[in-house]
Structure 1
Amino acid sequence: MTIRCISPIDGSVYAERETLTLAQAQDAVEKAQLAQAEWAARPLQERIELVQASVARVGELNDEIVPEIAWQMGRPVRYGGEFGGFNERASYMAEIAQDALAPIEIEDSDAFRRVIKRVPHGLILVVAPWNYPYMTAINTVAPALISGNAVMLKHASQTPVVGERMAAAFHAAGVPKDVFQNVFLDHQTTSDLIAARSFGFVNFTGSVGGGKAMEAAASGTFTGLGLELGGKDPGYVMEDANLDAAVDTLIDGAMFNSGQCCCGIERIYVHETLFDAFVEKAVSIVNGYKLGNPLDMETTLGPMAHVRFADEVRSQVQEAVAAGAIAHIKPSDFPQDSGAYLMPQILTNVSHNMRVMREESFGPVVGIMSVKSDAEAIRLMNDSDFGLTASLWTQDPTRAETIADQIDTGTVFMNRADYLDPALCWTGCKNTGRGGGLSVIGYHNLTRPKSYHLKKA
C-alpha cells in the first residue's frame, strides 16, 4: 500500500511512502523487543541525556521543518513551527524523570528489603496525529524512551515526513535505530500487530472511530491504551471577566492553526451583560485575518489539512445557518475560500440542536451563546459527548474552581486556553478518551509497578 500526502497548499502529492508488509512489521517489532532490554539496562541519566540531545538535533533542523509542516498540513510559516512546545515538553519530562521513576522504598532493614520499582512496558506504539505532528509525538516518545521502553512511531499519513525527521535526529544523537523506529503501517497491519500482543502499551491520538478500532484490536490482549480522541472545548466568560483578554484568547484558541487544535475552543458561552460587546470584538479580530498560502509570511490563516476536513466544516456551518444561526463573517471578505482554504466563521443564535455545537468541527468556526448564570453555563458546558478542556474567564479564582469542580472535562483553565502544561496530566473523559500523558502520571502510564519483597535472613 502507498501512503500519499496530498498538500493542502496546491493539491499536489508532497510525499509518498510504501507501508510495511505484515512480515516486515513483525520483523521490526522483533528487533525493537530485542533492543529494548539493552536500552533499559542503560543508566537512567544516560537515557535522559540521549533524549535531550535528540531533541536539540530536531531544533537544529527547524528552518527546514517549518516549511515542511506548511506543505504537509497547511500551518503558516510565520508561526515558526513547533520546536518551542516540543522542547518544553521533552525538557520537563527529562527534568522530573529521576524523581518520577524513583523506587518507592518501604523498608531496607537487616531483615527485609521491600521496594516498589517502576519498570518499562517494553515496546510502545505511538500513533501520532497531523495537527501538531511534532508536539503530540514527543508527548509520549520522550518519556517512553527515558523510562526504558523501545518506541515505534506511526505518524499520520498527512505528515509522513515528521516521523522520518524525528527518527533521523534521534539516531544521529545516539539512540539505537532499533530502539526508536519510524514505521509506515496500514490500518490492518496496525490492528494485527496490536492483536498479536506486539506492544506493551499503545498511545493513540486521533478520531473516536480510530480509538474504537484500537480498543477492538486490543480486546482480550490486556494491552494498555492511552487514547485522546477529540473535543468540543467550551469557554465561559463571566460578567467580571477582562473582556479584551477573553476575546483575544478565546478567538485565537478557536481559529489558530485553522481551528485544527485538540484543545481548540469550539463553543463559547458569554454572560448576557457582555455578549454583544464580546461578539463585536470577536468579529473585528477575525475580519483582520489573512487567509492564504501558508508559505507567505503575511498569511495568518492557512488551508485546512485536507479538502474533506474543510468540507465537513462547511457542511456544519451551512446546516446551522439553515436552522437559524447568524453568520457574522462575510464570504466577500475571504474570496480565497475554496477547497482546503476555508474562511473563518463566527455564529450566534446557535443551539445545541445544531451539529456545529455538538460534533467536533476541528476547523475555524465557533458558536457563541448568551447565558444568564453559572448554572446555565455549567449545564451547557457539560452537554457534550467530549471532555478535554474548558476555559473559564473571571477575576475570582474561588468561583472559577467551584465551577471547575462541576465540569466534566480533563483540564480546566482560568483566564487562558489552548495550552498544554507538561507539569499537569494531559487527560480527558467521555468520548475524548482515557489515560493521561506528560507529568508524573505520564511516566506512571508508560511503566508498570513491580514489587520486591526480599527477606534477608
Structure 2
Amino acid sequence: MTKMIQCISPVDGQVYAERPALSLSEAQMVAERARAAQAEWAARPLEERIALVKAGVAKLSEMKEQIVEELAWQMGRPTRYGGEFGGVNDRTEYMSSIAAQSLAPMVVEDSDRFLRQIAREPVGVVFIIAPWNYPYLTTINTLAPALIAGNTVVLKHASQTLLVGERLAEAFHAAGVPEDVFQNVYLTHDVTEALIQSRAFGFINFTGSVGGGAAIERAAAGTFTGLGLELGGKDPGYVMDDADLDAAVDSLMDGAMYNAGQCCCGIERVYVHESLYDAFVEKAVAWVKNLKLGNPFDAETTIGPMANKRFAHTVREQIAEAVAEGATALIDPALFPEDDGGAYLAPQILVNVNHEMRVMREESFGPVVGIMSVANDAEAIAAMNDSPYGLTCSLWTSDPERAAEVGAQVQTGTVFMNRCDYLDPALCWTGCKDTGRGGSLSVLGFYSVTRPKSYHLKKVTK
C-alpha cells in the first residue's frame, strides 16, 4: 500500500495537503535521471546556469501571494511578515555574484613549462533534505550554489511544508531549468536511508534534528558521501555591562520569539551582566507582553501557532519542569489566547533558571527564553559553552575588541556583535559540536558542492 505523507495545519489541526510517497524503485529512477542529466547540465556555460537559477528565483517571487498564504497554513507563520523572499533573493544574488571567482581554478603555475592548478568539479547529484521552519531559505542555501556549480539536485522537503518543494520545482522548471536537473520528491525515512546507502548522491545536505543527522550519518557510513549537517541549537545572547540596553532587549527578544521561536539561530538563553540584569528583565517582559498571539491570517497577529502541536507540547513540558524545579515564569499565559494542548502557545520568559534545567540545556525551538545574571565575561563564556550545541552567539557591547576577545572563546559557528538571528551569505553558515558539520553559503558553500581536481600538465618533454 502506498504511504501518504501529510501536512497537518497548525492553524486548525486539519490535513492541509497530502502526497503519495515514492517507492524505493521509483526513488531510484529519480536518482538515475538526475545522474544522467548532470553532465549535460554541467557542460552549459556558467553564465547560463547562473541566469537560469536567477530566473527560477524570479519566477518564485511571482508566486509570493500564494506562497505566503500556503506558509501560514503549513507552518503557522503570520502573513504580515510576507514570506522569505528578501533572503531568498539576496542569497541567490550574492552566490551568483561570487560564482565565477569561487569556481575558478587556483593556478599554482602557468609557465612555458607547466600548467599546475586545482580545479573545482561538481560532485554530481546533490540531495537536499530541507526543514520546515524556513523552508525556502534553507533550501536555497544549497540549491542555488549546487545548480550554479553544475550539479543536478533532488529535493526532499519536510512533511510539514509539503508544498514548498512543489513551488520551487514549478518556478525553476518554468524558468527553463530542465525537469531532470531539479526534481522534487516525497520520501519516507526508510526509502531515504536506502537511497543514501546505495550511493545515489555525491553530496547530502540535511537541516534538522540531531537524531535525524545521526540517522543520515549511519545511512551514509561506508559510502564516503559528503555530508553537510545543520542540526540542533541552543543559541545564547550575552549582554555586557556597556551594552545599549534597549537595543539588546529589542533584538534578543525578537530573536527569541520571532517565528514562534522556531528559528535555527533563534535566541534560547540570555546571560546579562548583573548591573543590567533587573532592567533587562523588566524591559524584556514588557516587550513580550506586546506580542499578539493568534491566527496567522489576522493582520494584528505577530506570533502564530507553532508548526505542530507536538512541538508545542515539548516546550510546555520544558516550562513546567523548570517551574517545578524553581524557575519563575514572568508571563501570564492568560494574556494570550492559548488553545489547550494545541499548537497555539503563549510566549514565556523564565528567570531563576540554571543549567540543570532542560529548558536551559536542550533545544526548545519555541517561544520561551531563560535569562540568567552573570558577574563577568569569564562567567558568561563558561555558561555559553556549557551546551552540546554551537551555531551562533550574540554579544552586546560597545567595544568591538572585547566582543572579538569573548567571541574567540565561545564554541560556536558564528559570533554576532549587537545583532542576532541573521544569516550573512558572504560568511560561511556553519556550526560545531552537536550542531553538526560542514558549511553553506560564501565561497565555502561552493566548495561543499564541488570536489577539488588537480592538473599537473608538463608542456615540454625534457
Match of 2:242 in 1: 240
Indicate the residue corresponding to 2:225 in structure 1.
223
> Which residue is equivalent to 1:302?
304
- Candidates 429, 433, 451, aligned match of 1:430: 433
Shift of 1:230: 1.2
Deviations 1:174-210 (A, max 9, x none): 1000000001111111111111100000000000000
Q: 2:452 aligned with 1:449, yes or no?
A: yes
Amino acid at match of 1:267: R
> What is the DSSP-based 3-state SS (H/G/I as helix, E as strand, rest coil) of the residue aligned with 2:22?
coil
- Separation in 1 of the partners of 2:58 and 2:372? 44
Give CA deviations for 1:341-376 in whole Å, capped at 9, x if unaligned: 000000000000000000000000000000000000
How much has 1:102 moved relative to structure 2?
0.6
* 1:280 counterpart residue number: 282
Q: Take 1:110 and 1:421, find their aligned partners in 2: how far apart are those partners?
A: 42
Q: Does 1:316 align with 2:318?
A: yes
1:352: which partner in 2? Answer: 355
For residues 159-308 of structure 1, the aligned pairs below 5 Å read 159-308=161-310
CA distance in 2, matches of 1:331, 1:298: 18
* TM-score between the two structures when normalised by the length of structure 2: 0.98
SS of the residue aligned with 1:115? strand
Give aligned-pair identity as a percent: 70
- 3-state SS in 2 of match to 1:420: coil
**Residue type of the partner of 1:368?**
I
Structure 2 Cα separation of the partners of residues 59 and 439 of structure 1: 23
- SS of equivalent to 1:158: helix
Asked if 2 retains the 8 angstrom alpha-carbon contact of 1:94 and 1:146, the reply is: yes
| Mapped partners of 1:250, 1:213: distance in 2 | 33
Secondary structure at 2:19 match in 1: strand
Q: Distance in 1 between matches of 2:366 and 2:338?
A: 16
Where in structure 2 are there 5+ consecutive unaligned residues? none
Supply the distance in 1 between the matched residues of 2:5 and 2:357 (Cα, whole angstroms): 35
1:331 positional shift: 1.7
The verdict on how the C-alpha distance between 1:424 and 1:284 changes in structure 2, with shifts beyond 3 A counting, is: same
> Which residue of structure 1 aligns with residue 372 of structure 2?
369
Report if aligned partners of 1:239, 1:274 keep a CA contact under 8 Å in 2.
yes
Q: Distance in 2 between matches of 1:408 and 1:325?
A: 26
Shift of residue 256, structure 1, vs aligned partner? 0.2
> For residue 414 of structure 1, what is the aligned residue in structure 2?
417
- How far the C-alpha of 1:271 sits from its partner, in A, is 0.4
More displaced stretch, 206-215 vs 110-119: 110-119
Q: Is the CA contact 2:5–2:21 (under 8 Å) kept in the aligned structure 1?
A: yes
- 1:203-229 deviations in Å (ceiling 9; x for gaps): 000000000000000000000000000
1: CA distance, partners of 2:114 / 2:272: 61
1:432 CA drift (Å): 0.1
Counterpart secondary structure, 2:6: strand
Q: CA deviation at 1:106?
A: 1.8
1:383 aligned onto 2:383 = no
Q: Provide the aligned C-alpha RMSD in A.
A: 0.6
Q: How many residues align?
A: 457
What amino acid is the match of 1:274?
L
Q: Which amino acid counterpart does residue 95 of structure 1 have in structure 2?
A: S
Q: Contact 1:337–1:343 at 8 Å: present in 2 too?
A: no
Partner of 1:24: 26
* Partner Cα distance (1:76, 1:4) in 2: 21
* Native 8 Å contact 2:294 2:337 kept in 1: no
Q: What amino acid is aligned across from residue 378 of structure 2 in structure 1?
A: A
- Distance in 2 (CA, whole Å) between partners of 1:109 and 1:102 is 18
TM-score (norm 1): 0.99
Which residues of 2 match residues 107-146 of structure 1 at below 5 A? 107-146=109-148
One-letter amino acid of the structure 2 residue matched with residue 118 of structure 1: R
What amino acid is aligned across from residue 86 of structure 1 in structure 2?
A: V
> SS of the counterpart of 2:160?
coil
State how far apart, in whole Å, the 1-side matches of 2:111 and 2:417 are: 48
Structure 1 residue 105, shift from structure 2 partner = 1.3
Equivalent position SS for 1:282: helix
Q: 2:44 aligns with which of 18, 42, 45?
A: 42
User: How far is 1:393 from its partner?
Assistant: 0.1
Deviations 1:305-337 (A, max 9, x none): 000000000000000000010000002211334
Report the Cα offset of residue 453 of structure 1: 1.2
Partner of 1:74: 76
Matched with 1:60 is: 62
d(CA) in 1 for partners of 2:339, 2:242: 37
Contact 2:234–2:269, Cα closer than 8 Å, also in 1: yes
Provide the rounded CA distance (Å) in 2 between the counterparts of 1:292 and 1:178: 41
Query: Residue by residue, what CA displacement relative to the aligned partner does 1:125-165 show, whole Å, maximum 9, x if unpaired?
Result: 00000000000000000000000000000000000100000
CA drift at 1:108? 2.2
